[in-house]
Chains A and B, each alone.
Chain A
Amino acid sequence: MKGRSAITVLVAALIFFAGYAALFIAPDERTMHELMRIFYFHLSCWVAMFCALTLAFVANIAWLATRNPKWDWLGVASVEVGVVCCTGGLITGVLWGRPAWGIWWTWDARLTTTFILWILYICYLLLRGLIEEPQRRASLSAIFGIFAFLDTPLVYASNRLWRTQHPAPVIMGGPDAGLDAMMGKVLVVCIVAVMAMMILVLIDRYRLERLRHELDELRLAADARGADSNIVLTKGLP
């Protein structure tokens, strides 16, 4: 328990440092000036979301293949964390869009894709809430998760064919793309900080799901014995 608290404090410190670095250490940007500073966290959110949702996709397939409940816990934990990161990315994007583009929102390919992605994974969480049986909930939500993940590139491709307005990728973009060395370092710090926080929350959410599962098992066992479930629960919880 002490180790966990220490890690939490460490990650919190890292986040504060990343915020400081983005605001004060990173050099001024030529055209966007201070506006640029939100980009460090904007991109970090997307990196974290991408990792979390890819992990969810892997967990969904692994659940169907192995039937090990651990994969189901990992699936729901990573989708929830992914949705939070997606919300963060959308909000920072909207905040940046107003002063930079003059509009809060535009139906550009990447914006639309992430918005649909956000809705799809919220639907995944809603679906889980509406199915009682644990086994069935795990399988059906895994199937929906796989469909949602497959849909994302199609949403992107269809919008790309249609219209786009988002700035060209800064990293690995065209020949003119690329970041100043200091900006690159700050960006790396921010990505590491957000990823660390994402992983920390993911682990906690996974543990919560495992505890819920154990609680359900205990309830079932108590019902089977016909005993007062409250007494068994207080003894059985770790």
Chain B
Amino acid sequence: MTTARAAAIVLTKELRLEFRARELLSTTVVFALVVVVLFSFAFDPTAADSRRFGPGLLWIAFFFAGSLMLNPSFAREQSNQTLDALRMAPVSAFAILLGKMLANFIFMAISEAILVPVFAVLYNISITGIVGWLALVLVLGTLGLVITGTVFSAVAAHARRRELLLPLLLLPILAPLLIAAVEATASLFAEQPSLDRAWLAFLGGFDIVFLTASWLLADFLLEE
């Protein structure tokens, strides 16, 4: 079986699990919404402030929500030893990892598609003219988040205090991604929206570096 086919099967399984329970998506969206609302209480931003802090707030809300959402990705395979069953299938470890990354990407993308319009309304930021470019930045940034996040979800699944550990491992690694994503979003939210190609390339580079590393290390990550 090819890697793509195996990954697609894992992806279908993850999606079916999630759309039966709908636990992850709803909690992720509400959590990110809470962060966005609390920010407005904490700083009481004016229109100019929102323009300045908005991109950072948006991405921090996504990263925090992501670091919580990614935890069950491997942790729920622990409870019934289903990961061992998955590993017994004659597919590469990377296929399993890739399937889970794609599923997490879809969950994050849905949450973002719900949250970005709400955010734009609450903070008076017009996104109608820049939807396409904003989507590109969101896709590249979210890919970086789910690639590293899914790997670290597998790392943290074997540790004690894994709910605490995952954000701890993930958020510092994401520091360069945060800077790039925030800067790229900020240039889109500016009064004269423009696309910052340097930051876009940086986001793509981050995704490629860590996707390659995950591909090389997948066998060690999911051994036994």
Contacts of B131-183 to chain A: CB distance below 8 A: 148, 151-152, 155, 158-162, 165, 168-169, 172-173, 175-176, 179-180, 183
Chain A residues lying within 8 Å of B217, measured Cβ to Cβ, are 64, 143, 146
Nearest A-chain residue to B169, judged by Cβ: A123
- Contact (A161, B202) CB under 8 Å given A131-B158, A154-B209: yes
* Cβ B168 vs Cβ A150 within 8 A: no
Partner of A119, one of B172, B180, B213: B172
What number of residue pairs across chains A and B have CB atoms under 8 A from each other? 80
Given contacts A116-B175, A150-B213, contact A143 B168 (CB under 8 A): no
In the complex, chain B residues whose CB is within 8 Å of the CB of A131: 158-160
Known: A126-B165, A158-B180. A150 touches B209 (CB 8 A): yes
Near B by CB (< 8 A), chain A positions 1-46 give: none
Interface readout for B182-224 with A: 1 if CB under 8 Å, 0 if not?
Answer: 0100000000000000110010011001100100010011010
Q: Which residue of A lies closest to B157 (CB)?
A: A140
Q: Is A218's beta carbon under 8 Å from chain B?
A: no
By beta carbon, the residue of chain A nearest B221 is: A143
Q: Is the CB of A154 within 8 A of B176?
A: yes
- Which residues from B are CB-within-8-Å of A151? 172-173, 175-176
- Inter-subunit contact B176/A157 (CB<8 Å): yes
Q: Which residues of B contact A146 (CB under 8 A)?
A: 213, 217
* Contact partners of B199 in chain A: CB under 8 A: 161
B210 to chain A, nearest CB (A): 7
Picked from A133, A139, A143, A158, the residue with its CB within 8 Å of the CB of B202 is A158
Give bound CA distance, A151 to B223, whole Å: 24
A127 interface contact, C-beta 8 A: yes
Which residues of the other chain, B, contact A132 by a CB distance below 8 angstroms? 160
Q: Is A130 in contact with chain B by the CB < 8 A criterion?
A: yes
**Least distance between B82 CB and chain A CB atoms (Å):** 18
How far, in whole Å, are A161 and B158 apart by their CA atoms in the complex?
A: 37
A106-136: CB near B (< 8 Å → 1, else 0) gives 0000001000100110010011001111001
Shortest CB-to-CB span from B47 to chain A, Å, is 25
A127 and B220 within 8 A (CB): no
Write out the residue numbers on chain A whose beta carbons fall within 8 Å of the beta carbon of B151.
143, 147
B168 and A123 within 8 A (CB): yes
Contact between chains at B176 and A127 (CB < 8 Å): no
- Given known A130-B161, A147-B173, contact A159–B179 (CB-CB < 8 A): yes
B residues within 8 A CB of A119?
172
| Contact mask for chain A residues 140-170; partner B; CB cutoff 8 A; 1 contact, 0 none | 1011101110110011011101100000000
Checking B160, B169, B202 against A157 with a beta-carbon cut-off of 8 angstroms, the contacting residue is B202
Given the complex, which residues of A lie within 8 Å of B180, measured CB to CB? Answer: 158
Minimum Cβ distance to chain B for residue A83 (Å): 13
Q: Which residues of A contact B173 (CB under 8 A)?
A: 120, 147-148, 151
CA distance A148 to B176 in the complex (A): 12
Q: Within the complex, which residue of B169, B183, B198, B210 is in contact with A144, where a contact is CB–CB below 8 Å? A: B169
The reply to whether B220 and A161 contact each other, CB–CB distance below 8 Å, is no
Complex: A8 Cα to B155 Cα, angstroms = 38
The CA-CA distance from A64 to B213 in the complex, in Å, is 13
> Known contacts A123-B168, A154-B209, A157-B176; is A139 also within 8 Å of B161 by CB?
no
Q: Is the CB of A143 within 8 A of B165?
A: no
Which residues in B have their C-beta under 8 angstroms from that of A127? 155, 159, 165, 169
Count chain A CB atoms within 10 A of each CB in B148, B168, B220 and give the residue with the most. Answer: B220
B164 to nearest A CB, angstroms?
9
Assembly CA distance A130 to B156 (angstroms): 9
Residues of B within 8 A of A123 (CB): 168-169, 172
Q: Are B213 and A147 in contact (CB under 8 A)?
A: yes
Which residues of A sit under 8 angstroms from B206, Cβ to Cβ?
154
Cα separation A132 to B162 with both chains bound (whole Å): 13
- The 15 sampled A-B contact pairs (Cβ below 8 Å) are A119-B172, A130-B159, A130-B160, A131-B160, A136-B158, A140-B155, A143-B155, A147-B152, A150-B209, A158-B176, A158-B180, A159-B179, A161-B198, A161-B199, A162-B183
